[in-house]
Amino acid sequence: NDMGQGWKIKCSLCTKALKKIQTLAGDNPDEAAVTAALKKGCRLLGRFLGKQCRKLVSQYQDQISQALQDGDMPRDICTTMGICKA
């Protein structure tokens, strides 16, 4: 039963994806910059992870967008969304 590991993988994917997206969005991004970065960031993770990333992003897009505009850290954003454990 590896359900316990599932969240770890999701958490690291979430953190990795958001770090990439944050870098792509640049400093003090506006919504348009974040949206563009969300699209591009998932593509950079490769096919398998990219698919997971897109699913995650479309589910949480508003939260992610707002958090990145607020300058929150990727790990904190993933924790807030309940993907990572605090």
Q: Which CATH number fits the domain that encloses residue 19?
A: 1.10.225.10
In a domain? residue 2: no
84 has pLDDT over 90? yes
Residue 31 pLDDT exceeds 50 = yes
Domain with 73, as residue range(s), is 11-81
Q: Judge whether 55 and 17 are in contact, CB under 8 Å.
A: no
- Whether 52 maps to a domain, the answer reads yes
What's the whole-model pTM score?
0.83
- How many domains is the chain built from? 1
Q: Which of 23-27, 33-37, 43-47, 71-75 has the lowest mean pLDDT?
A: 43-47
| pLDDT above 90 as % of the chain | 60
Domain membership of residue 45 (yes or no) is yes
Q: How far apart are the first and last CA of the chain?
A: 22
Q: Is the pLDDT of residue 34 over 50?
A: yes
For residue 1, tell me if it sits in a domain: no
Residue 63 domain-assigned (yes or no): yes
Whether 77 maps to a domain, the answer reads yes
Residue 44 lies in a domain: yes
Rounded to whole angstroms, the Cα distance separating 40 from 21 reads 8
Whether residue 54 lies inside any domain: the answer is yes
